[in-house]
Amino acid sequence: MADPALGGLYADMEGRLGPQGWWPAETAEEMVIGAVLTQAVAWRNAERAIAALRGAGLLDLAALAAADVDAVAVLVRPAGYFRAKARALRALAVWISGQGGLGALAARPAAAVRRALLQVRGVGPETADAILCYALGQPAFVADAYARRVLRRVGLLEAADAGSYERARAALAPRLPDGADAPWLGELHALLVAVGKEWCRPREPRCGACPARTRCREAARRTADGAAAG
DNA sequence: ACCCAGGGTCATA
DNA sequence: TATGACCATGGG
């Protein structure tokens, strides 16, 4: 059943932080490309790779599907893991093109599309959910590390559920508010990331909700606690 | 010289 | 199912 606290948390974060404008991409295809490039890397670095692809005329799926993997690898090098990401971009572009493009995928059942996305090498659960939510308009929640950390901190996720992506996703799915659509879930995720970024920083007093050696800032903690109370 | 960042794969138990 | 090694660049 729906958990009213999730809606309250959303409202409070939105009121404090305002619209986050995710996903920062000009087109749905660019969003898909960015989803791969930002894996385990600061968004700043993904942006450099995106700019390089744009400069080479490779910022669309049809072009990537036909491009040489090694040439793509050189371009996306600033995003790290460049060989793996070049291969993933090509595999994803080939698959999506073969399915008739993003428009055709958006019209298919989300669960089936998710399973298929996970078969693409280089696409894991988080990337798949991000694509579903931000590029395909499906009501998918991205239960990434920031979201899990913040939701656990504010008491909306048990520690055991916050430990892994799939556990968190399974625990949250039935509690999403009725009518939680893609724009709402996308904004919820963006807000959770914003709070998480502000909340946990290096070289601050230790925070139990953070990864080892990560420390938290007191002011941001009040923001999160306030959001939990609201 | 570390530690971290908008993950995922693969081998292993 | 769940760990651990590995992938690689850029910023603090």
Domain that holds residue A55: 28-135
Same domain, A16 and A39: no
CA A222, distance to chain mean position in Å, is: 25
Q: Tell whether the model's pLDDT for residue A224 goes beyond 60.
A: no
Same domain, A117 and A204: no
pLDDT tens digits along A71-125 = 999 999 999 999 999 999 999 999 999 999 999 999 999 999 999 999 999 999 9
* Phi, psi torsion values for A76, nearest 5 degrees: -95, 10
Q: Give nucleotides in strand C with any atom < 7 A to a protein C-beta.
A: 2-3, 7-11
Same domain, A152 and A213: yes
Same domain, A126 and A153: no
Report the nucleotide nearest the CA of residue A163, measured to C1': C2
Q: Tell whether the model's pLDDT for residue A150 goes beyond 60.
A: yes
* Phi, psi torsion values for A202, nearest 5 degrees: -65, 155
Report how far residue A144's alpha carbon sits from residue A165's, in angstroms, rounded to the nearest whole number. Answer: 7
Report the nucleotide nearest the CA of residue A23, measured to C1': B6
Report the nucleotide nearest the CA of residue A39, measured to C1': B7
Same domain, A126 and A152: no
Q: How far is the CA of A165 from the C1' of C1 (A)?
A: 13
Q: Which two tokens stand for residue A168?
A: 């968190």
The residue out of A102, A135, A168 marking a domain boundary is: A135
Same domain, A149 and A126: no
Mean pLDDT for the stretch of residues A41-68: 98
Burial track A69-97 (b if 16+ CB lie within 10 A, e otherwise):
eeebbebbbbbbbbeebbbbbbbbbebbb
Mean pLDDT for the stretch of residues A183-210: 76
Give the 3-state secondary structure percentages of chain A, helix then strand then coil, rounded to 5.
65, 5, 30
Mean pLDDT for the stretch of residues A2-16: 94
Structural domain total, chain A: 2
Q: How far is the CA of A126 from the C1' of B13 (A)?
A: 26
Q: What is the pLDDT of residue A144?
A: 96
The residue out of A84, A103, A135 marking a domain boundary is: A135
Name the average pLDDT for chain A. Answer: 89
Map residue A7 onto helix, strand or coil.
helix
Same domain, A121 and A150: no
Is any atom of strand B within 7 angstroms of residue A81's beta carbon? Answer: yes
Q: Is the peptide bond before A199 cis (omega within 30 degrees of 0)?
A: no
Amino acid identity of residue A189, one-letter, is: H
The residue out of A135, A157, A178 marking a domain boundary is: A135
| CATH number of the domain within which A49 lies | 1.10.340.30
Same domain, A124 and A41: yes
Is any atom of strand C within 7 angstroms of residue A77's beta carbon? Answer: yes
Q: Tell whether the model's pLDDT for residue A12 goes beyond 50.
A: yes
Is any atom of strand C within 7 angstroms of residue A81's beta carbon? Answer: yes
Under the banding of pLDDT at 50, 70 and 90, the label for residue A230 is very low
Is any atom of strand C within 7 angstroms of residue A215's beta carbon? Answer: no
Q: What is the pLDDT of residue A124?
A: 98
Is any atom of strand B within 7 angstroms of residue A211's beta carbon? Answer: yes
Same domain, A155 and A211: yes
Q: Tell whether the model's pLDDT for residue A221 goes beyond 50.
A: no
Q: What is the pLDDT of residue A93?
A: 98
Under the banding of pLDDT at 50, 70 and 90, the label for residue A199 is confident
pTM, two decimals, is 0.91
Mean pLDDT for the stretch of residues A30-57: 98
